[in-house]
Amino acid sequence: MRCLYGEAIDLSRLGSLTIQRASHVEPDADGVWWAELLPVGGPRLGPFPHRSNALAAEQCWLEHHWLQPLG
């Protein structure tokens, strides 16, 4: 099962976990933010003026391109 990590649910209650980073959200030398999705074969998203914008774009891309639909 794949999911985006959050603290709303204690995932360890489901069994053994393997947690891997799907991306890196970091600023560059100019202070703008980038979401690097290379760890899951994705693109580099940005630049964004705020970290929260990069995190939102990261989550949107992962939900639409990386997570598998249920069923």
Mean pLDDT by groups of 10 residues along the chain of 71 residues: 84 89 95 96 97 96 86 61
User: Which residues constitute the domain of residue 26?
Assistant: 11-65
- pLDDT for the residue 24: 95
Residue 4 domain flag? no
> In Å, how far are 34, 44, 46 from 31, measured between CA atoms?
10, 16, 12
Q: Is residue 57 part of a domain?
A: yes
Residue 2 falls inside a structural domain: no
pLDDT of residue 33: 98
User: How many distinct structural domains can be found in the chain?
Assistant: 1
Tokens standing for residue 58: 């990261």
On whether the pTM is more than 0.95, the answer is no
Cβ atoms < 10 Å from Cβ of 67: 13
